[in-house]
């Protein structure tokens, strides 16, 4: 594939514009709902919440966010083998929209049905749209890393819109309007995608390694059987025929997800008929995947324990003469708005990080993917050291200043920019080409592992036992720092795996 000469979207191919705005609105719908989940589940029945304990809500949050990314594995397979990335994104978006509509209509009775629909649709859309970004570029196109950074900024513009809208609606109009806003966001994304997807590269349309004949029919039969079985389980659980205990299930699923990651990664490595160069790149990619899982297990406290900390232990009261009070009649900062910090910092800092990698490369300074990921983990961990100090004040019965959370989100954002767009680029660049969608699915599975561990960790956040909070945050910080140091040491070797693979990729 020759390098693209299209520069119609800020110096990047026009297909990136389509993917940028589609993902922006899809992330608006996803983050808008995600920000509300733990707050809604722990809210009392008198305030139209579900009245769950923090441990149960944390486990469900982890199961949901984990499932969102785990389903990227079959989502990548469907695109690679049956329908192609373009259709996978379209149908995934439709399923997500249906899930948000269900939630907006009946939160009390159809809450879990809505979550399952959104998770299923995201599993189909998310890995494939990420892989399609890389497919807009040629093999040796130097704009690839910068393109992923720009795409990543679109994700965070969507999340910024989500937090602003859903946070305000939840506190001033109620849960139904807040969840309904997510449906509107996904609808806008679908409309935009429908009218602009002709700009996508030809590689984004057809399945990369399609089944033919009898194999194709068997694959579709298997898909239908799995969908039917899932529907049956949902109906039985809804009727009370089977009882699901969220915390125990989350613990088992965390082990299951990790096993699936190793089995699937190993299957591609040993049975995928890879060349020696492809196997070297796979080893480097494995370290990136480990770094990603550890990073997200800490970072995803944002929607759970940090969200509850903002609600219960942060001074959110606004002064009488403030802008929000005078113009919007608000007496306190909406809890969800603290997560705006991450989105704002991403939007502000993304162009600088995109330029940083390009300028370093021009100066012949090219840090390996793994060293960038290690730095990202350590910076993220420092944010939990800040929360360790803030939670000590909370343990004394004090409301802490908002800047503690804002500082934590700043450090988490810097860590995210060091790791996340770089890791996406690594998957696109280091994966065997014929397994591109599936490898993006395997990588997205690291988000799943991280999210479900994050949910289990947040279950230890007990508002009735605030003295335990400092220890929780300190443990997360120390573990993350240790992982970052180990990966940094291993990057000395992985740098050669990455370079050897890239230099010889034209042979593959």
How far does the chain reach from its first CA to its final CA, in angstroms? 13
Angle at 378 between CA 374 and CA 380, to 5 degrees: 115
Nearest to 295 by CA among 458, 184, 134, 416: 416
**DSSP classification of residue 137:** S
> pTM for this structure?
0.82
Ordered by start, the domain boundaries in the chain are: 14-210+245-507
Helix pair 305-313, 436-458: axis angle to 10 deg: 40
**DSSP letter for each residue of 87-129:** HHHHHHHHHHHHHHHHHHH-TTTSHHHHHHHHHHHHHHHHHHH
Instruction: In whole angstroms, give the CA distance from residue 454 to residue 383.
Output: 15
Count of beta carbons in the 10 Å neighbourhood of residue 433: 15
Instruction: In whole angstroms, give the CA distance from residue 114 to residue 183.
Output: 11
H or E element in which residue 81 lies = none
Nearest to 115 by CA among 223, 236, 34, 28: 34
Count of beta carbons in the 10 Å neighbourhood of residue 14: 17
pLDDT one-digit tens code per residue, 326-356: 676 677 788 888 988 888 888 888 778 777 7
Nearest to 34 by CA among 360, 426, 451, 391: 451
Write the secondary structure of 309-354 as one string of H (helix), E (strand) and C (coil): HHHHHECCECCCCCHHHHHHCCCECCHHHHHHHHHHHHHHHHHHHH
Looking at the domain that runs over 14-210+245-507, which CATH code has it been given? 1.20.1250.20
For the chain, residues with pLDDT lower than 70 are: 1-8, 10, 139-142, 145, 202-204, 321, 323-324, 326, 328-329, 357, 361-362, 364-366, 437, 463, 496-508
Nearest to 330 by CA among 440, 92, 169: 169
Instruction: In whole angstroms, give the CA distance from residue 27 to residue 16.
Output: 16
For residues 448 and 69, the answer to whether their CB atoms sit within 8 Å is yes
Quick one: residue 48, left, alpha or beta (phi over 0 = left, psi -120 to 50 = alpha)?
Answer: left
Instruction: In whole angstroms, give the CA distance from residue 391 to residue 313.
Output: 8
Instruction: In whole angstroms, give the CA distance from residue 330 to residue 57.
Output: 28
Q: Which pLDDT score, from 0 to 100, does residue 497 have?
A: 66
Q: Which pLDDT score, from 0 to 100, does residue 172 have?
A: 82
């Amino acid at each position: 594939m020759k390098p693209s000469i299209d520069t119609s979207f800020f110096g990047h191919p026009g297909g990136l514009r389509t993917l940028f705005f589609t993902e922006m609105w899809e992330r608006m719908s996803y983050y808008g709902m995600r920000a509300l989940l733990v707050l809604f589940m722990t809210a009392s029945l008198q305030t139209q919440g579900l009245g769950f304990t923090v441990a149960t809500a944390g486990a469900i949050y982890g199961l949901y966010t984990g499932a969102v990314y785990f389903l990227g594995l079959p989502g990548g397979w469907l695109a690679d083998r049956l329908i192609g990335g373009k259709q996978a994104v379209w149908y995934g978006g439709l399923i997500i929209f249906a899930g948000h509509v269900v939630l907006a209509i009946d939160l009390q009775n159809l809450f879990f049905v809505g979550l399952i629909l959104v998770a299923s649709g995201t599993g189909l859309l998310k890995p494939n749209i990420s892989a399609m970004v890389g497919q807009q570029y040629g093999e040796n196109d130097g704009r690839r890393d910068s393109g992923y950074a720009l795409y990543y900024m679109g994700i965070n513009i969507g999340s910024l819109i989500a937090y602003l809208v859903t946070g305000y609606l939840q506190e001033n109009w109620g849960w139904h309007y807040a969840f309904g806003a997510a449906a509107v966001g996904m609808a806008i994304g679908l409309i935009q995608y429908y009218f602009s997807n002709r700009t996508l590269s030809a590689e984004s349309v057809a399945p990369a390694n399609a089944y033919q004949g009898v194999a194709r029919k068997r694959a579709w039969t298997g898909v239908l059987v799995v969908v039917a079985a899932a529907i049956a389980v949902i109906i039985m659980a809804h009727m009370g025929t089977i009882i699901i205990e969220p915390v125990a299930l989350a613990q088992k699923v965390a082990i299951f997800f990790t096993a699936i990651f190793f089995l699937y990664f190993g299957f591609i490595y040993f049975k995928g008929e890879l060349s020696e160069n492809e196997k070297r790149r796979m080893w480097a990619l494995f370290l990136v995947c480990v770094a990603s899982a550890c990073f997200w297990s800490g970072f995803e406290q944002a929607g759970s324990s940090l969200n509850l900390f903002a609600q219960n232990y942060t001074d959110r009261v606004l002064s009488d003469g403030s802008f929000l009070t005078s113009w919007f009649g608000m007496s306190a900062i909406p809890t969800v708005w603290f997560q705006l910090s991450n989105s704002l910092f991403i939007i502000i800092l993304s162009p600088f990080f995109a330029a940083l990698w390009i300028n370093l490369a021009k100066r012949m300074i090219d840090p390996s993917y793994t060293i960038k990921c290690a730095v990202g983990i350590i910076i993220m961990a420092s944010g939990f050291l800040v929360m360790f100090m803030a939670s000590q004040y909370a343990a004394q019965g004090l409301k802490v200043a908002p800047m503690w959370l804002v500082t934590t989100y700043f450090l988490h954002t810097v860590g995210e920019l060091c790791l996340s767009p770089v890791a996406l680029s690594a998957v696109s660049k280091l994966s065997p080409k014929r397994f591109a969608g599936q490898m993006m699915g395997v990588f997205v599975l690291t988000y799943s592992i991280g999210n479900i561990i994050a949910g289990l960790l947040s279950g230890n956040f007990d508002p009735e036992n605030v003295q335990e909070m400092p220890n929780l945050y300190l443990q997360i910080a120390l573990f993350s720092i240790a992982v970052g140091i180990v990966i940094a040491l291993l990057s000395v070797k992985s740098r050669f795996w990455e370079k050897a693979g890239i230099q010889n990729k034209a042979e593959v």
